[in-house]
Amino acid sequence: MTPNSDTVTRFAPSPTGNLHVGNIRTALHNWMYARKHGGRFLLRLDDTDQARSEEAFVTAIRHDLGWLGLTPDGEARQSERSHLYEAHFEALKQVGRVYRCYETPEELDLRRKVLLGRGLPPVYERGALALGEDDHAAHAAAGRAPHWRFKLDHDAPIAWDDLIRGSQHFDPQLLSDPVIRRADGSWLYMLPSAIDDIDMRVTHVVRGEDHVSNTAAQIQMFEALGAAPPAFAHEALLVGSEGKLSKRLGSLGADHFRELGIEPIALVALLARIGTSEPVLPVSDVAPLIESFDFANFGRAPARFDDDELKLLNQKIVHGLDYDAVAARLPVDIGAAGWEAIRPNLHTVHEAADIWSCVTGPIAAPPFDDDTRAYLATAAEQAASIDWAGDPWHALTGALKESTDRKGKMLFLPLRQALTGRDSGPDMAALLPLIGSARALERLRAAAQG
């Protein structure tokens, strides 16, 4: 598609909790689509639920998007736009597209059960439309305020060409007229969202497939408001590694991934591609992900999110990170050579300090038997005489191979244990020059003495 500066996407979270991995995926795809097409990506805080919205969650949402590099080109808050909703609401009242209702949740639930028991769809039957002004006055006198529904046009079939799901068709008679305003005057999601999309000139709405029926109703809202609806892309929902919808996914947020030491680009690389026909790759930059982003590659099957896949991807990405990219997050005494030495053994950058301790010490070598201590005493003597300016590891092991009958694991493992306190770790040829002759001799002699 040719880049289009008129392209506008939006991410519209409710600040009633922290972002979870499904929210993050939605934000990412909106951001990527806007970036690919030279458009704008907006953050809209849907904070009409004043009782549950918290400023701490607003701050957290901004922080998480920033951590991922998903910088918005603009921000708006629904709580500051009520005058706009009131104006459109009054216009819809004038043309009879909204109406007052008084049923309680219990009454509606009972009616749904009755309809289901009769084998009928549990659709709101519009009983409130039969109320006259005297009825409304009686409710008002009794102190009972109405909630408001948007009246769907039953004679206008709803259809759109979804960018992922293809041709979509809904019979409005099988949809309930959506409640758009509570009895206390506060707004529900549906109408303010459509009004904002019109006002902000949103061209593409990317969201989960659980919003498909909402979209069907909102398309008629756009039309009633005198605007063409945006293009819609409804993604398959994320499922856990077991292949089922998981409540756990709702608790996995950016804080969780940061605590695991996951690189932002690793989470972006995985969420950009799972659920598509494109392979998940350990990229170091988001540019190739943006370039290849295409809703034609998205499948209808649920997108499987696997922690283990993310951790493996993160490990591969860490192994490709240059020193300059991580220097600010490393202990001050790890230079470029140190990073090159320990990098192949890291799963996360967070592990660098622990592995680096085998260089700086102190270390705790395991107890050795008499024969091994004698071998390490010989190693200390050889280490004192080799050329440390070249390749001390191969010089030391070569000399020991000639002067002892050891080879393979018997030759190398006691040296690693005595020099690092570990059974495994970074390549000793890279590590030993960083340990240095003084520390190496001290450690070998200490191990030989037991």
Token pair listed for 13? 């979270």
Question: What is the CATH classification number for the domain harbouring 409?
Answer: 1.10.10.350
Is 68 within 8 Å of 268 (Cβ atoms)? Answer: yes
- In a domain, residue 227? The reply is yes
- Tell whether 36 is in a known binding site: no
Is 195 within 8 Å of 225 (Cβ atoms)? Answer: yes
Task: Please report, as a single letter, which amino acid is at residue 175.
Answer: L
Q: What is the CB neighbour count within 10 angstroms for residue 296?
A: 8
Both 174 and 98 in a single domain?
Answer: yes
Question: What is the CATH classification number for the domain harbouring 149?
Answer: 3.90.800.10
Both 94 and 176 in a single domain?
Answer: yes
Q: Quick one: DSSP state of residue 338? A: H
Question: What is the CATH classification number for the domain harbouring 196?
Answer: 3.40.50.620
Our count of domains for the chain comes to 4
Determine phi and psi for 354, rounding to 5 degrees. -65, -45
Question: What is the CATH classification number for the domain harbouring 271?
Answer: 1.10.1160.10
The confidence score (pLDDT) of residue 1 equals 44
Per-residue pLDDT in tens (0 to 9) along the chain, 450 residues: 444 579 999 999 999 999 999 999 999 999 999 999 999 999 999 998 888 889 999 999 999 999 999 999 999 999 999 999 999 999 999 999 999 999 999 999 999 999 999 999 999 999 999 999 999 999 999 999 999 999 999 999 999 999 999 999 999 999 999 999 999 999 999 999 999 999 999 999 999 999 999 999 999 999 999 999 999 999 999 988 776 666 678 778 999 999 999 999 999 999 999 999 999 999 999 999 999 999 999 999 999 999 999 999 999 999 999 999 999 999 999 999 999 999 999 999 999 999 999 999 999 999 999 999 999 999 999 999 999 999 999 999 999 999 998 999 999 999 999 999 999 999 999 999 999 999 999 999 999 998
The confidence score (pLDDT) of residue 245 equals 60
Both 304 and 260 in a single domain?
Answer: yes
Both 217 and 266 in a single domain?
Answer: no
Using omega within 30 degrees of 0 as the cis cutoff, is the peptide bond preceding 229 cis?
no
d(C-alpha 392, C-alpha 215), whole Å: 68
Q: Which of 290, 319, 348 is the C-terminal boundary of a domain?
A: 319
DSSP-derived secondary structure for 109-125: HHHHHHHHHTT------
- In a domain, residue 17? The reply is yes
Query: How far is CA 448 from its chain centroid?
Result: 51
The confidence score (pLDDT) of residue 243 equals 67
d(C-alpha 127, C-alpha 150), whole Å: 14
Both 100 and 224 in a single domain?
Answer: no
Using omega within 30 degrees of 0 as the cis cutoff, is the peptide bond preceding 230 cis?
no
Query: How far is CA 289 from its chain centroid?
Result: 15
Both 65 and 40 in a single domain?
Answer: yes
- In a domain, residue 350? The reply is no
The confidence score (pLDDT) of residue 135 equals 96
d(C-alpha 427, C-alpha 425), whole Å: 7
Both 69 and 200 in a single domain?
Answer: yes
The confidence score (pLDDT) of residue 413 equals 97
d(C-alpha 116, C-alpha 104), whole Å: 19
Task: Please report, as a single letter, which amino acid is at residue 442.
Answer: E
Token pair listed for 209? 């497939």
Both 201 and 287 in a single domain?
Answer: no
The confidence score (pLDDT) of residue 72 equals 97
The CA-CA-CA angle for residues 378, 384, 386, to 5°, reads 100
The confidence score (pLDDT) of residue 62 equals 97
Both 421 and 283 in a single domain?
Answer: no
End-to-end CA distance of the chain: 71
Question: From start to end of 5-106, where are the E strands?
Answer: 8-11, 40-45, 74-77, 98-101
- In a domain, residue 3? The reply is no
User: Which residues is 225 bridged to in the sheet?
Assistant: none
Q: Which domain holds residue 386?
A: 360-449
The CA-CA-CA angle for residues 37, 41, 44, to 5°, reads 155
Global confidence as pTM: 0.91
Question: From start to end of 131-262, where are the E strands?
Answer: 147-150, 158-162, 166-170, 179-181, 204-208, 231-235, 238-239
DSSP-derived secondary structure for 360-374: HS---PPP--HHHHH
- In a domain, residue 333? The reply is no
Q: Quick one: DSSP state of residue 88? A: H
The confidence score (pLDDT) of residue 414 equals 97
- In a domain, residue 229? The reply is yes
Q: Which of 286, 319, 352 is the C-terminal boundary of a domain?
A: 319
Both 369 and 439 in a single domain?
Answer: yes
CA-wise closest residue to 51 among 86, 12, 16: 16
Token pair listed for 2? 């040719």
- In a domain, residue 351? The reply is no
Both 224 and 271 in a single domain?
Answer: no
Both 194 and 174 in a single domain?
Answer: no
d(C-alpha 322, C-alpha 388), whole Å: 27
